[in-house]
Amino acid sequence: MIIGVNGQLGHDAVKLLSPYHKIVGLDKDTLDITNFIELQNRITEIRPELIINCAGYTNVDDCEINYESAYNTNAQGCYNLALIAKKYDCILVHISTDYVFDGEKDEPYIESDLPNPINIYGSSKLLGETIITTISPKYFILRTSWLYGTHGNNFVKTILRLSETKEVISVVNDQIGTPTYTIDLINVFSKLIKTNAYGIYHISNEGRCSWYEFAKKIIKLTNKETTIIPITTNQSKRKADRPHYSVLENSMLKHRFGYTLRNWEEALTEFLKVDME
């Protein structure tokens, strides 16, 4: 059972996993995870062996205003899922974020580092994590970062769209993270779900960059003429604070499985070739 199939990750998860698993895909129009009774009835009907929760309130700035909706989806939804998954002995896979960290560290975050979110989005996602780890005996919490894919909206598509009409685009240069391709994330958790190595995992492509460097690479790989101008976080005037450094180290993947993801630049190059064909 995959929840959130209209989002970029859920959409790609259905596409990649359906040849190997019997999948029931649901979205917010067909299932409200904040409604316990509705969720329980649907899971009772489907009786999945595994639930992948790709649903989330992910608009970071909107979360600062609509914080009740953010907590309902990102935390209450997790509470409902964890309780019902435990009742039916389901494995629960939940997607989380690098924004559970405050960005004050000067080296990549590992799974055992203490979270300290600085915005509502990160706080609501951390609460969801905590609820799952408290209730569910069989869970994979997968923290990822700067996600992009072929379906839905993301930073790569925004830059490409803006480049069609703008000669100059201003992009923040003092936030450092790692762009992650949906396909690479799904390839990893498709392997994890075949194991009982439950726990919290960081899953992002290797390497690091700023949003500015990310945008520059997108423009270069697509041979656009648009000029990318670096600005500071303060100049961007966004509602929500962002961590200045949120690079994730995939420590548990490497330690438990010897698995290393490819570099973000290699992944982006492949994505742009596929997306532009």
Known catalytic residues?
121
> How many CA within 13 A on the CB side of residue 256?
16
Q: Which residues pair with 199 in a beta bridge?
A: 140
Sign of the CA dihedral running 153, 156, 162, 164: negative
- 């595994």: which residue's tokens? 50
- CB atoms under 10 Å from CB of 133, counted, come to 17
Q: How far apart are CA 51 and CA 5, in angstroms?
A: 12
What is the longest distance spanned by two Cα atoms in the chain?
56
Q: How far apart are CA 267 and CA 262, in angstroms?
A: 7
CA distances from 30 to 23, 24, 27, 35, 44 (A): 15, 11, 5, 12, 15
- 């075949």: which residue's tokens? 194
- Cα 268 to chain centroid distance, Å, stands at 16
Are the C-beta atoms of 188 and 253 separated by less than 8 Å?
A: yes
